[in-house]
């Protein structure tokens, strides 16, 4: 190898990429099932302090109360997903959620809000026929991640904090994964982590849009690595916009931050710039319609020009009991107050904000992928939510499938014996990945902020809430040009320790690649379904013959195919209710 060679090799049994709900649950389940296995959790920031699960406000969907059922939760999930879901994945989600919520409370010590009779309190979220969202006020994610992180720390599981995964490295014969190339952000040095099993749980994060909710470290790294490794992704056109992102001005990173769905579930109104409600024009459920419907309605109202001073609309709770709003949504009230808004007594300006990616790596119910030894869970994966995720199903997805992946990896390694030994990595793939990361270090520094702004404009204007063939074709051309412009500029490589400009370059490289797949998948789907709305094809066609969109990289091109949805449990027009 050249002087860009990996400077250190680390070996572990299980390598987990990501420390959100999926990654930490997987780590704990591996440790419970096979304590003799060495488990290493690698994270781009600090364990327990970064990622999206910690930012979850609303809660966790699970059928617990009398009158609710797994079947009812399943039907809400399938109908919300517009019949694109992998039904076995969705069924496992709603069924295992009942087990996982008790594990969170009884084994990990989470304290969720309770009713006066001691039962778990569940609140209303949009798009559901039953109030089933378990929560800890409006700070549910912090409660879950704190308890999970405590367990990882107390058990002494290995951690690689401030380590960035940059490439999935195959075995020399290409038959399986051998490990992951990483950068130690503290030094800028490369490390090859060899592992018998790898879990991809880095989270998604549609931060390529002008308004977005995820933390800045979420730059679709896992999806980009999976694409470069030859894996298929599905449903990439399905990017969920949360209707109520805080609009506080261009000068603050608070813009785009979610004001949780429970506010609308509790009775908040959406108002136009003149103070008039408008949702009843778009859906009989009003403000409690699903996120895709509400976001499109808001976008249409914004295009009509009846907007607030910052160009958004308003969320108002002033008609509700102010004391109760302050009590039940303490975190939201305080967050708005920090930005100069009175959520409980007045109104707050909001805008639809890119929130979650329903698409991701194709995976099986047990967490396995088509690459032997590579497993996936959480927002890196596709198929669970179909065309639209119900609020409250996201953290359930991460914890359910993180635990399942942990169980599967432990059993897979224990059963495999010598056949599941460490594989020799493809040295050419390692060197190529190192050289790819070092590209910007040898080129003259350029304006990365200009690249970031142009990417946000392309995705918001042309691949956003409402799309058509012309805007998508324009975006595809613009993204190719943007990637060429990024490749032509570099960064100051004099000191690689915490060289955030270097990492920004790599972030943008991944975001542009995944943006190209979103655009290609959106061009390929010539009907409207869930979060994907084509103004030139506004109708949803033929549910009985539904197909999902699969994407792969072929050379420099994005290849798309339409694959039939397998209705394994229920077909359009049928229901499981009453069984």
Going by pLDDT thresholds of 50, 70 and 90, the confidence category of residue 419 is low
Q: Where are the alpha helices (DSSP H) in 377-499?
A: 393-416, 427-438, 448-462, 469-487
Q: Specify the pairing of strand 269-271 against strand 158-160.
A: unpaired
Q: What is the sign, positive or negative, of the torsion defined by CA atoms of 190, 551, 382, 217?
A: positive
Domain boundaries, the chain: 242-355, 437-542
Task: Give the pair of three-digit tokens for residue 63.
Answer: 């059928």
Lowest average pLDDT, out of 46-50, 78-82, 408-412, 508-512, goes to 46-50
Going by pLDDT thresholds of 50, 70 and 90, the confidence category of residue 248 is confident
Q: Which of 73, 135, 147, 264 is catalytic?
A: 264
How big is the chain, counted in residues? 579
Contact 297, 351 (CB under 8 A): no
* Catalytic site includes residue 72: no
CA–CA gap between residue 214 and residue 219 (Å, rounded): 9
Instruction: Flag whether pLDDT at 7 surpasses 90.
Output: no
In the prediction, which pLDDT does 291 show? Answer: 85
Lowest average pLDDT, out of 48-57, 399-408, 454-463, goes to 48-57
CB atoms within 10 A of CB 14: 28
Q: CATH topology for 437-542? A: Methane Monooxygenase Hydroxylase; Chain G, domain 1 (1.20.58)
Contact 159, 39 (CB under 8 A): no
**What is the mean predicted confidence (pLDDT) over 553-566?**
96
**What is the mean predicted confidence (pLDDT) over 456-460?**
97
Instruction: Give 339 or 497, the one with higher predicted confidence.
Output: 497
Say what percent of the chain tops pLDDT 70. 98
pTM for the structure as a whole: 0.95
Please state the φ and ψ torsions of residue 244, each to the nearest 5 degrees. -120, 80
Q: Beta partners for 381? A: 361
Same fold for the domain at 242-355 and the one at 437-542?
no
In the prediction, which pLDDT does 405 show? Answer: 98
Collapse the DSSP code of 392 into the 3-class scheme (helix H, G, I; strand E, B; otherwise coil) and give the result.
coil
Q: Beta partners for 17? A: 42, 200
Closest residue by Cα to residue 66 from 106, 26, 119: 119
- Residues whose CB is less than 8 angstroms from the CB of residue 503 and which lie 6 or more positions away in sequence, other chains included: 164, 183, 185
Instruction: Flag whether pLDDT at 4 surpasses 60.
Output: no
In the prediction, which pLDDT does 418 show? Answer: 56
**What is the mean predicted confidence (pLDDT) over 348-368?**
96
Say what percent of the chain tops pLDDT 90. 85
Task: Give the pair of three-digit tokens for residue 546.
Answer: 């539904």
Instruction: Give 97 or 328, the one with higher predicted confidence.
Output: 97
Instruction: Give 338 or 25, the one with higher predicted confidence.
Output: 25
Task: Give the pair of three-digit tokens for residue 331.
Answer: 């975190």
Lowest average pLDDT, out of 64-73, 259-268, 370-379, 445-454, goes to 259-268
Lowest average pLDDT, out of 242-256, 524-538, 562-576, goes to 242-256
In the prediction, which pLDDT does 579 show? Answer: 45
Q: Mean of the per-residue pLDDT values for the chain?
A: 93
* Catalytic site includes residue 385: no
Instruction: Identify the CATH number of the domain defined by range 242-355.
Output: 3.90.700.10
Q: Which residue shows structure tokens 């549609």? A: 206
CA–CA gap between residue 466 and residue 326 (Å, rounded): 35
In the prediction, which pLDDT does 14 show? Answer: 98
DSSP letter (8 states) at residue 512:
H
Q: Which of 54, 242, 516, 550 is catalytic?
A: 242
């Amino acid at each position: 190898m050249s002087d860009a060679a990996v400077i250190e090799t680390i070996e572990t049994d299980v390598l987990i990429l990501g420390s959100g709900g999926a990654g930490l649950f997987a780590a704990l389940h591996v440790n419970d099932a096979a304590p003799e296995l060495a488990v290493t959790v690698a994270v781009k920031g600090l364990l327990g302090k970064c990622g999206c699960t910690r930012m979850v406000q609303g809660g966790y969907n699970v059928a617990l109360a009398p009158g609710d059922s797994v079947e009812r939760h399943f039907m809400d999930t399938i109908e919300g997903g517009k019949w694109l879901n992998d039904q076995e994945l969705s069924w496992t989600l709603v069924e295992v959620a009942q087990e996982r919520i008790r594990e969170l409370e009884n084994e990990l010590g989470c304290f969720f809000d309770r009713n006066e009779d001691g039962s778990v309190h569940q609140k209303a979220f949009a798009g559901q026929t039953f109030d089933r969202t378990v929560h800890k006020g409006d700070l549910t994610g912090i409660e879950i991640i704190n308890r999970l992180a405590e367990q990882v720390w107390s058990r002494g599981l290995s951690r690689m904090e401030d380590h960035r995964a940059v490439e999935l490295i195959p075995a020399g014969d290409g038959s399986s994964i051998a490990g992951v190339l990483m950068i130690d952000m503290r030094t800028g040095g490369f490390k090859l982590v060899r592992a018998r099993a790898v879990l991809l749980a880095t989270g998604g994060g549609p931060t390529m849009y002008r308004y977005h909710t995820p933390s800045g470290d979420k730059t679709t790294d896992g999806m980009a690595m999976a694409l470069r490794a030859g894996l298929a992704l599905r449903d990439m056109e399905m990017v969920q916009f949360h209707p109520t992102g805080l609009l506080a001005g261009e000068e603050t990173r608070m813009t785009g931050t979610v004001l949780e769905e429970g506010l609308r579930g509790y009775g908040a109104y959406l108002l136009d710039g003149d103070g008039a409600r408008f949702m009843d024009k778009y859906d009989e459920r009003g403000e409690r319609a699903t996120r895709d419907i509400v976001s499109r309605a808001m976008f249409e109202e914004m295009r009509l020009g009846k907007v607030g001073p910052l160009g958004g609309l308003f969320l108002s709770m002033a008609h509700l009991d102010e004391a109760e709003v302050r009590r039940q949504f303490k975190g939201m009230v305080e967050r708005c107050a920090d930005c100069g808004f009175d959520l409980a007594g007045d109104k707050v300006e909001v805008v639809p904000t890119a929130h979650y990616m329903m698409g991701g790596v194709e995976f099986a119910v047990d967490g396995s992928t088509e690459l032997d030894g590579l497993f996936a869970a959480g927002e890196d994966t596709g198929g669970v939510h179909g065309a639209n995720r119900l609020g409250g199903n996201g953290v359930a997805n991460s914890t359910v499938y993180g635990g399942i992946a942990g169980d599967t990896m432990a059993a897979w390694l224990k059963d495999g014996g010598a056949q599941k030994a460490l594989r020799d990595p493809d040295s050419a793939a390692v060197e190529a990945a190192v050289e790819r990361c070092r590209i910007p270090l040898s080129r003259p520094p350029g304006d990365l902020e200009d690249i970031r702004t142009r990417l946000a404009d392309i995705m918001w204007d042309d691949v956003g809430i409402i799309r058509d063939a012309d805007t998508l074709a324009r975006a595809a051309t613009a993204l190719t040009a943007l990637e060429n412009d990024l490749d032509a500029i570099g960064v100051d490589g004099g000191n690689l320790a915490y060289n955030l400009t270097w990492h920004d370059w790599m972030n943008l490289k991944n975001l542009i690649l995944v943006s190209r797949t979103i655009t290609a998948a959106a061009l390929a789907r010539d009907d409207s379904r869930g979060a994907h709305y084509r103004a030139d094809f506004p109708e949803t066609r033929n549910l009985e013959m539904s197909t999902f969109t699969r994407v792969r990289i072929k050379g420099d091109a994005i290849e798309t195919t339409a694959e039939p949805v397998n209705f394994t449990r229920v077909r359009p027009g049928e229901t499981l209710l009453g069984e």
